[in-house]
Chain A
């Protein structure tokens, strides 16, 4: 290939190469610009609505008001500790859900007969909004951190479990044949073949679960927690501080976006290692 390049490059007229480089740079800029333009437009529309006089400033504060509110919350020391509280709660609940749902999913995925009994139970429980568990969660777990964690846990649990079961059931049978052919012990079949083979699909489930659980973070914290972004919203409502409410909502959105990007990057790295192109995912 290098030989090919060295004979080819001098023959290429310089202007066209430069034009190509310029075009590539423009394309890269456009790729970054288009999504940014979407977000800028959202903020612009929000601003126009806020200054249009349709609602009073107390009903619909604009982005500038929200920014001012964030500076106030930051300097009063209510912003960062509440973000930290939310992230900690989320991490505990999400990781607990993954730690329980993935092994369970592997087990049910391998035991089709048992899954036939469990699947309807899951399908029956899954449509119940995680928030509906809240009154019972308070009765069982008391007031404080745990009910909120339970809600996030429930939200992350089902997608992770279902994705794992499906991933394990759809492991390419040839991988299992090869494993049996080499006389692999059942334990090794699970850990050396089934789980790695299912992992890219499990990773898809993990990403869906992160999104679902993050949505319920605020709901969980609005119901009884004394810290966190959800609490910040409830607290601001009690003082009719709509600018603080919108500021907290924006922070929730931005953090959710960043977390999703992080998990997506992990997913891409798994796919690259496994040799899966993005189109291979259903």
Chain B
């Protein structure tokens, strides 16, 4: 087996909060992600899942421990590790097409070439007809699709997604989940996907990394082994969903038919 795409080795991140008190965002987190694997970081707010993502992205550095991508220590953001954010981060003054072109433009690609490539990716996410629109003229789901196209245009090795569908309505979310699952598989991208939605993690991940808060740490790593494409009503799906809810302490043992909804929707 080849070297892991991501290797996090006993990473700890401490910081001082607004009142100056020391806090530990994550403590002793170790994780390996294989090439082409889809991993979900799942947990309630404050469990450090976004911190882990930022360490891989290079937006943040560990206080101790190491974060390696392809055996090289991460020392800053890089287009080979692209983030997709909950609030899209599209440039409102640029058209959809210009947003998708951005990554190639700052790399100095020729105009004709980047146009062609941007159109190709817009077709992939089904938005080529909106190339000339401005982001604010699009729905949230469409904007997030544009963000996905913008990320894929530079052909990154890793996709780092931070609750990308958190701001979308339920139906749009389901459609985009299916789309991302398909895209990641087709293009064999390594994906680290942060979410607090149990169903989303079961739908997408090869492994679910369940995290716990204060201090943020890995509680358990659950390999899913479900065939793709996955069906939300399949028995295996429902069982795994119940197991993860139990792991999060949301459902009591033997009570899997009545998950307490409050915690899941509040996070």
Contacts and interface: CB of A to CB of B under 8 A. Distances in A.
Interface of A: 174-175, 177-185, 188, 192-193, 196-197, 199, 273-276
B79 A181 contact: yes
Contacts of A175: 89, 91
16 contacts: A175-B91, A177-B59, A178-B91, A178-B102, A179-B106, A180-B59, A181-B57, A181-B82, A182-B107, A182-B154, A184-B106, A192-B102, A192-B105, A196-B91, A199-B93, A275-B92
B106 to A, nearest CB: 4
B35 to A, nearest CB: 21
Contacts, number: 62
B55 to A, nearest CB: 14
Given A175-B91, A192-B102, 19 more contacts: A178-B83, A178-B89, A178-B102, A180-B59, A180-B76, A181-B57, A181-B79, A182-B103, A182-B154, A183-B78, A183-B79, A183-B107, A184-B106, A188-B106, A193-B91, A196-B91, A196-B94, A197-B93, A274-B136
Contact of B135 (A177, A184, A275): A275
A174 B106 contact: no
Interface in B90-137: 91-94, 102-103, 105-107, 134-137
Contacts of B154: 182
Given A178-B89, A183-B107, A188-B106, A273 B78 contact: no
B247 interface: no
Contacts of A273: 93, 134
Give the secondary structure class of A's interface: helix
B85 interface: yes
Interface residues of B, number: 26
Residue of A185, A188, A199, A275 with most partner-chain B CB within 10 A:
A275
Contact of A181 (B77, B105, B134, B135): B77
Interface residues of B: mostly helix, strand, loop or mixed? Answer: loop
Nearest to B80: A183
Nearest to A173: B89
Given A180-B77, A182-B103, A274 B82 contact: no
B89 A174 contact: yes
A173 B102 CA distance: 17
B92 A274 contact: yes
Given A177-B89, A183-B79, A275 B134 contact: yes
Given A174-B85, A188-B106, A275-B134, A182 B91 contact: no
B197 interface: no
Pairs of residues from A and B, 3 with the lowest C-beta to C-beta distance, nearest first: A275-B136, A174-B89, A184-B106
Name the residue among A181, A188, A192, A196 with the largest chain B CB count within 10 angstroms. Answer: A181
B87 interface: yes
Interface in B204-219: none
A198 to B, nearest CB: 11
